[in-house]
Amino acid sequence: NNILDVAGITKTYNAGKPNAVTVLQGASLSVQPGEVVALVAPSGAGKSTLLHIAGLLDSPDEGTVTINGTDMTNLSDRKRTAVRRSEVGFIYQFHHLLPEFTALENIVLPQLANGIDEAAATDHAKNLLARVGVETRAEHRPAALSGGEQQRVAFCRALANNPSLLLADEPTGNLDPDTSDRVFDALMELVRGTGLSAVIATHNLDLAARMDRTVRMDAGTLTQI
Ligand code: ADP
Ligand code: ADP
């Protein structure tokens, strides 16, 4: 059973208007358990659109998204949201942590929203922070952390509810090259250590080479290389 099957996805923004733009035309992608897939594409090619559709944050015009064997196409919004919260972790180029909460709280809160009790949520959050080397930063707010530390905390938050699928959109794209390499190491260790499946978009071919395989986006479709 695949963790993710994206099949025949079509997406046009502003359909029927003069400024219509077709971003995806029959895009398909499958991810097996434990597989880490690099998504490489020029900017503007539709990577973010594809990741948002795969992660149930946006809907395709045509095609299906199947997560862990469940076809999401005809699920109610409420059920889709529930699946997204428990099965999918998202990481962006910018951390998007809540500024008024500490690093620890940013990882505890999504677990509380998912019905985990506070003691267990706190243990799990501390464990995640230690695994990416920022346990000493637990009580700091995001503004007090370096860019690399902010991303490490964002990785922990994405994994807070033990998702089966991680989707990352240029997760180290706003860091300088040295920091990017180290932070990417931490992400890969976390992903490999949990056996998580992931799709990680990157412009960096050296980072792509460290994943299991690379999929290239071209003219709205995906080609395995
Ligand atoms: P990438 O992540 O590869 O840079 P995106 O998926 O963000 O690409 O965008 C692909 C194309 O779709 C771009 O031309 C972008 O301008 C356009 N686009 C993205 N989102 C919207 C939107 N909400 N409305 C209209 N056009 C959009
Ligand atoms: P980097 O070069 O990795 O981006 P910085 O120079 O931003 O790191 O920060 C170095 C260290 O100082 C980091 O461990 C960070 O957590 C800490 N730090 C940065 N800004 C603040 C701040 N406003 N308050 C407390 N600690 C901070």
Using the atom order of ligand 1, give the atom closest to the CA of residue 48: 2
Closest listed ligand to the CA of 144: 2
Least-confidence region, from 43-47, 180-184, 188-192, 219-223: 219-223
Model confidence pLDDT, tens digit, residues 2-21:
999 999 999 999 999 999 99
**Pocket of ligand 2 from Cβ distances under 6 Å:** 144-149, 179
| CA distance linking residue 37 with residue 198, whole number of Å | 6
Structure tokens at 22: 């077709």
What pLDDT is attached to residue 110?
95
Task: Look at the block and give the residue holding tokens 């944050």.
Answer: 57
Q: Is the CB of 46 under 6 A from ligand 1?
A: yes
Q: What is the mean pLDDT of residues 33-43?
A: 94
0.95 surpassed by pTM: no
Question: 21 C-alpha to center of ligand 1: Å?
Answer: 8
Mutate-to-test residue for ligand 2 from 129, 136, 146, highest number of ligand atoms within 8 A of CB? 146
Closest listed ligand to the CA of 216: 1
| CA distance linking residue 149 with residue 1, whole number of Å | 35
Which class for 121: exposed (0-12), middle (13-18), buried (19 or more C-beta within 10 A)?
buried
168 pLDDT more than 60: yes
Mutate-to-test residue for ligand 2 from 95, 145, 174, 181, highest number of ligand atoms within 8 A of CB? 145
Model confidence pLDDT, tens digit, residues 81-121:
999 999 999 999 999 999 999 999 999 999 999 999 999 99
What pLDDT is attached to residue 224?
63
